Structure 1
Amino acid sequence: MKRHALIAVLVLTLGSGFIGAAVPQESHDESISKIERKNRAPVSKDLLHVTLPKATETTLSNGLTVLIMENHRLPLISIQYNISAAGPIFEPAGTPGLAGITAQMLREGTKTRTSVQIADDIARLGASISATSGFGSSAAVINASGLSENFDQWFALTNEILLNPSFPADELNRLKQRLKAQLRQQRANPNFLSNEAFSRAVYGNHPAAVVSSTNASIDAITPDLLSKWHQERYTPQNAILGITGDVKASEIVPKLEKMLAAWKKTDLKEVLPPNPKAVAAKRVFLIDRPNSVQTSIAMGNISIDRRDPDYISLSIANHILGGSSAARLFLNLREEKGYTYGVYSSVTAVKYPGPWRAYGDVRTEVTAGAMTEFFREFQRIRDERVPASELEDAKRSQVASFALSLENPTELLGYAIVRKIYGFPADYWDTYPAKIMAVTADDIQRVTRKYLNPENMQIVAVGDVSKIKPVLEKYGPVEVFDTDGKKVGN
């Protein structure tokens, strides 16, 4: 409960594999991995039955949805504002960073406090207040926490930051300088370069293709532009306020009506951009870093959104293939071959379809071998039924992780917010373990074939192009870029 509430949009790592028309092969319990699994850890065979505490839900007169979860074990309270339609995917063209800078500037001054006074007051109250709006998000999120005994004070300060930011020019200029320094640093980071190129490859014209501001967009940001974005986008009818901790719903709701009376409803509705779709043709994007001793690889394509009925099956497929250091990709490329320190797979599943990807950093001289093993593991999970014991282990691991998360009140609040955002039924999380345990080997094979297609794979590799281009050319048409993102050849 000391930490902030979970962000309302969960981004979970999911599966990797290929779509194909192959006939399912007979299941067997022998893995090609040479890693010995002792299977000595005690594992309960009982199905986890849970009934999560339900949030008290109300809607204020200004349209703000409020979720309250009482927990009186400790004298602490955590809150989260999740403000939809205020995230970067709604930014006007040519202004990448506007939503994120607006969120960052909330704490830098209000109509009655300077940034120093805000920082001093937060420290004096023993509270924590932060605001973020990351690239690819549809929302701005404000988290705050503190003691229940002075809740009225730090919550009032949070609301002042939310509703009355002044966006002082001097603080904005200092932030701009820091952001420009970060831009220079990230251009030297191969993982950033890989993520940037991969996002552009799979998202195309969708706003989520943008993962960073630019010097020009930072220069274009003014206090007036921030104020306009804030006034238009930070609206109560599109927001959720989650509260957990040492509170009583019957007492706090009347307080909220008074404390948030100045936050007026508008006509703004969240209208998402058209959904991105999987790219039809396979392509290879190389980012040249001459003399690099490693190749940063990412590959995949658009898959599903969070509401998709295949979400849980795909999450289990990921756990088996690349979701952890016990997954197939890791055991093969690191433990057996020694190509890398770590290799994984993931998928972003939010309000709009996100990409499946597999990724890892390998030594330059083993780029060819690593690509072979990536594709070998993709082929295996697509063509071979997952052995019963491996599937059972994956499902019980997912259920165990979920069970552990229920000990944290802010996690429970996060689940309540997710359920509200996506319109899941009231018993969604109560039945979540059973849904996991119901996944079959046929489900795993079906979803990996459905969403992972070798014929439209988008591959990104950051490294020494003079050495890796001959290796990658056989995987699709090649385009070469420099570290500034400019195309320099084919």
Structure 2
Amino acid sequence: MTRTADEIGRTETGPRPLPELGPTRAVPLPDVEDRTLASGLRVLAARRAVVPMVELRLRVPFAGDAPEHPAVAELLSATLLTGTPTRDRVAIDDELAAVGADLGVSVDPERLVVSGSGLAEGLGVVLEVLADVLVAATHPDAEVARERERLVERITVARSQPRTVAREALQRKRFGDHPITREMPTEAEVAAVTAEQVRALQAAALVPRGSILTLVGDIDPVAAIEQVEKQLAAWTSDAVAQELSAPPAPVAGDLTLVHRPGSVQSQLRLSAPALRRQDPQYAALQLANLVFGGYFSSRWMENIREDKGYTYGAHSGTEFIPGGAVLGVDTDVASDVTAAALLETRYELGRLTAVPPTAAEVDAARSYAVGSLLISLDNQGGLASTITALAADGLGIDWLRAHPARLEAVTVEQVAAAALLFFAPSAFTGVVVGDADVIGAGLRALGGISAS
């Protein structure tokens, strides 16, 4: 006889009691071999032999001041793996597939990243292909033309999406005309890019000095670095990879109403300054953010999703940028509840400062923070990405090892102090994207709203 979920969870005397949470299981972190090669490439390698695979992350600082840089960089990333003098696109794919590997390339205003994974025994093949494209990618005219057309189409579609409109508006609001805002080129900028420009940018900017290559997997770290040194020996340059300069900190002020005619939803995007990982208050800020809106059981989520039903999801979190960090408070709501959702958001920000988190709230947030961190590190890919991000921020594996203990040591009073300092409604700026003819009057009645 089949029992229902309710029957399974009950006994004759009532509901089955939930067991007490046990101590958080520690995830042992491996030692990281760290060496800077003669080329200036920094190589980090760690053994995590849970599966016979290896994860690779190559991070190249890739900032540029030229107006055409974002468009050229996008096409460079799209065509880096499309051919060299000795391998065409098919040969590259076939060689990687033969060792269960793949590689992908992405770029943003701060960095170009080559990421991938493969069988550990095939690391030599992956490095050989990687070296070939880093040194000799030809960016064939036909491939550049094909990817240029695809990119124009993708940008056109993306710019029709409300989330893209909101992201671009928020970036301009936070950082003005700083290069960090140039996350997506225009269709016209992409259409004007030539293959010669792409090849010139590779020669000038895709360089090892200042770059970081991370390997995590079923490897001998010392031997893996020696293999990198040998196989990437031809990747050299006297130039230094260009780091993105630190943008200005967001300035608190009115939210900007961005008119999107005909929109049936609105995007609320608020932002304020935050802290880098190195700051002694970072752990307290992390827990304060979780209590506010950083996970499903947060105050803000319970208010505007569970209680009011204004949105399917709401999230707050820290975004790390060169030289600093910013808080982001994001949600999408129906047009007819935009003003109400903003009111409740401001209310929850104010409540976090006026009614500090309780010990129970902090303990729940702490358990979530420690648990989610350990889960994210319990696989090769998550560990490789985290090691790379920390290295770019001047931190190492020791910071990661110590962070659960830092979270455990944070007091309720320290979380309350962080909430008061960083979550006051007066500390925020941001944008609201929607149909101004529908939502404008209600928003303006709340105050603190200006037109774009």
User: With structure 1 as the length reference, what TM-score do the two structures score?
Assistant: 0.83
Which residue pairs with 2:364 in the alignment?
393
Partner residue of 2:430? 459
- Partner residue, 1:412: 383
Q: Report the 3-state secondary structure (helix = DSSP H, G, I; strand = E; otherwise coil) of the residue aligned with 2:286.
A: helix
1:55 to 24, 32, 46: 32
Which residue number in structure 1 is paired with residue 219 of structure 2? 247
Alpha-carbon distance in 2 for matches of 1:302, 1:363? 28
Give secondary structure in 1 for the equivalent of 2:80. Answer: helix
Corresponding residue for 2:4?
Answer: none
Contact 2:247/2:322 (8 A) holds in 1? no
Of residues 88, 103, 106 in structure 2, which corresponds to 1:129? 103
Q: How does 1:220-299 map to 2 (within 5 A)?
A: 220-268=192-240, 270-290=242-262, 292-299=263-270
CA distance in 2, matches of 1:50, 1:151: 25
Query: What's 1:154 paired with?
Result: 126
Alignment partner for residue 281 of structure 2, among 310, 317, 326?
310
Instruction: Please name the residue that 1:42 is paired with.
Output: 20
Residues 48-447 of structure 1 correspond to what in structure 2 (within 5 A)? 52-84=29-61, 86=62, 89-134=63-108, 136=109, 138-268=110-240, 270-290=242-262, 292-424=263-395, 427-447=398-418
Structure 1 unaligned regions, length at least 5 = 1-37, 481-490
Change (3 A) 1:383 1:465: same
Instruction: Give 1:345's aligned amino acid.
Output: S
Deviation at 1:91, TM superposition (A): 4.3
2-structure distance, mates of 1:202, 1:73: 42
Q: For the structure 1 residues 274 and 253, does the alpha-carbon distance in structure 2 shift closer, same or farther, using more than 3 Å as the test? A: closer
Equivalent AA in structure 1 for residue 54 of structure 2: I
Q: How far off its partner does 1:94 sit?
A: 4.2
Contact kept, 8 Å, 1:305 with 1:351, in 2: the verdict is no
Q: Which moved more, 1:367-376 or 1:117-126?
A: 117-126
Q: Counterparts of 1:250 and 1:445 in 2: how far apart (Å)?
A: 45
Question: Measured at CA, do residues 273 and 72 of structure 1 come closer, stay the same or move farther in structure 2, by a change above 3 Å?
Answer: closer
Distance 1:349 1:132 in 2: 18
Residues 210 and 302 (structure 1), Cα distance of their counterparts in 2 relative to 1, 3 Å cut: farther
Give the AA of the match of 2:174.
Answer: V
- For 1:377 and 1:39, how far apart are their aligned partners in 2? 32
CA RMSD of superposed structures (Å): 2.4
Q: Unpaired segments of 5 or more residues in structure 2?
A: 1-15
SS in 2 for 1:97: helix
Offset, 1:73 = 4.3
Matching residue's letter, 1:165 = A
Report deviation, 1:378: 0.5
- SS at structure 1 position matched to 2:297: coil
Contact 1:299–1:460 (CA under 8 A) maintained in structure 2: yes
CA contact (8 A) 2:84 2:138 kept: yes
1:194–1:296 contact (8 Å) kept in structure 2: yes
Describe the superposition over 1:256-289 as per-residue Cα deviations: whole angstroms up to 9, x where unpaired.
2221111114142545424312224324232222
Deviation at 1:96, TM superposition (A): 2.6
SS of the counterpart of 1:304?
Answer: coil
- 3-state SS, counterpart of residue 339 of structure 1: coil
Cα deviation per residue 1:183-204 (whole Å; 9 max; x = unaligned)?
A: 2212321111111111111111
Q: 1:381 to 1:40 in 2, by over 3 A?
A: farther
Deviation, 1:170, is 1.1
Q: What amino acid is aligned across from residue 41 of structure 2 in structure 1? A: L
**1:117 shift after superposition:** 2.7
Distance in 1 between residues matched to 2:24 and 2:302, nearest whole Å:
28
Moved more, 235-244 or 281-290: 281-290
Mapped contact 2:266–2:432 kept (Cα < 8 A): yes
Query: How many residue pairs align between the two structures?
Result: 436
Higher helix proportion (structure 1 or 2) = 2
Give deviations 1:313-348, integer Å, cap 9, x for gaps.
222112111112221111111111111111121221
Structure 1 CA distance, aligned partners of 2:60 and 2:151?
Answer: 24
Paired residues of 1:91 and 1:99 also in contact (CA < 8 A): no
Cα separation, partners in 2 of 1:153 and 1:394, compared to 1, 3 Å: same
Task: Please state how far the C-alpha of 1:411 moved relative to its aligned partner.
Answer: 2.5
Inter-partner Cα distance in structure 1 for 2:48 and 2:69: 42
The verdict on how the C-alpha distance between 1:404 and 1:162 changes in structure 2, with shifts beyond 3 A counting, is same
Which letter maps to 1:201? K
Bigger drift between 333-342 and 179-188 goes to 179-188
Q: CA deviation at 1:121?
A: 2.9
